[in-house]
Amino acid sequence: MKTRTTTQQVHILQYLRQKHSHPCAEAIHKEVVKQLPTITLATVYRNLNKLVEQEDIISFKVGNTYHYDGKVGDHIHGICENTGKIVDIEQPELVQYVRKKIHHHGFTPKNIRIIVTGTCKRGETQ
Amino acid sequence: MKTRTTTQQVHILQYLRQKHSHPCAEAIHKEVVKQLPTITLATVYRNLNKLVEQEDIISFKVGNTYHYDGKVGDHIHGICENTGKIVDIEQPELVQYVRKKIHHHGFTPKNIRIIVTGTCKRGETQ
DNA sequence: GTATATGCAAACAATTTGCTCTCCT
DNA sequence: AGGAGAGCAAATTGTTTGCATATAC
């Protein structure tokens, strides 16, 4: 089953690449529908699943909801309990180090998701 | 609203403390219902939520489902793509190290969840 | 005794699926 | 032309909730 590049897919991927928040499917739909008025939430989900499979984007759960991220490199996600925001913690060497340690421990890692709850700088001043 | 210790809660907590897998609510219900035939899935969920809030247990998502763990100390969860099992990767110092690094990076961490997909030792020989 | 927790069934929210039609290639 | 994808609506899954009754304190 060869995959086909559709307008919808292009828009979704573009949006995720450009946007550096970590929107959920509904937020993505809300945005993309502005340019493609007929696109449905189901289509957004189907495309997101495809993009994740192709490793063009990554996904992770917060609460009950999947969030999507156009940045695929190793990084850490921080969920600020005060601002509610999901922030990127760019520490690729740290993730690399964790990866190595886990491997030494006898588990061959593929994907590593590190999700931290706590407070970001902005959140602390609230 | 002061909390009350019920038979149901005791059984659920006991089960999670003793069992070192990482069952989901349904699996817990399946087990606990053997001793408490009238307990419902809703009650299991209510108690699990309470226990998580009280920090007697921890929870984390894999795929669409919450999994629960009676072990609350810092550790890493490995999801083996071959066996399907969730294994504990006991590396408390590593998690401590990650915690420290994240703090230095400007995010004050509370809970850290590290979830790795890959293959465990047993999975590799399959 | 009183209020919190249970059991039951119904509600919910996020995500998926079946079907028909569209439109890439 | 042929088939992957879109759109729509309905289904499914995991989890939560409202209400009457049971039970812990």
A48 CA, D10 C1': separation in Å? 21
- Cβ atoms A32, A11 nearer than 8 A: yes
Structure tokens at B109: 């961490």
CA A30 distance to own-chain centroid: 17
pLDDT tens by residue, B15-74: 999 988 899 999 999 999 999 999 999 999 999 999 999 999 999 988 889 999 999 999
B59 and B83 together in one domain = no
Q: Which of B53, B69, B85 is the last residue of a domain?
A: B69
Task: With respect to residue B110, please indicate whether it lies within any of the assigned structural domains.
Answer: yes
A23 and A38 together in one domain = yes
pLDDT tens by residue, A109-119: 999 999 999 99
* Mean pLDDT score, A47-70: 92
A61 and A91 together in one domain = no
Angle at A38 between CA A33 and CA A42, to 5 degrees: 80
A13 and A50 together in one domain = yes
The CATH number covering residue B46 comes to 1.10.10.10
B61 and B20 together in one domain = yes
Output phi, psi for B86, to 5 deg: -100, 120
The residue among A73, A89, A20, A114 whose CA lies nearest residue B94 is A114
Structure tokens at A53: 């499979």
Distance from CA of A17 to the nearest CA of B (A): 24
B93 and B110 together in one domain = yes
CB neighbour list of residue A12: distance below 8 Å, 6 or more residues apart: A28, A32, A44, A47, A48, A51
B82 and B62 together in one domain = no
Q: Does B111 sit within 8 Å of A114, measured CB to CB?
A: no
The CATH number covering residue A96 comes to 3.30.1490.190
Give the CA count within 13 Å in the CB-facing half-sphere of B112.
26
Q: Which of B23, B45, B69 is the last residue of a domain?
A: B69
- Cβ atoms B34, B14 nearer than 8 A: no
Q: Which domain holds residue A79?
A: 75-123
What pLDDT, on a 0 to 100 scale, did the predictor assign at position A1?
63
Burial class of residue B66, CB neighbours in 10 A (0-12, 13-18, 19+): middle
- Count of domains observed in chain B: 2
* Mean pLDDT score, B87-96: 96
Compute the mean pLDDT over every residue in chain B, rounded to the nearest whole number.
94
Q: Does A106 sit within 8 Å of B114, measured CB to CB?
A: no
Query: Is the Cβ of A36 closer than 8 Å to some Cβ of chain B?
Result: no
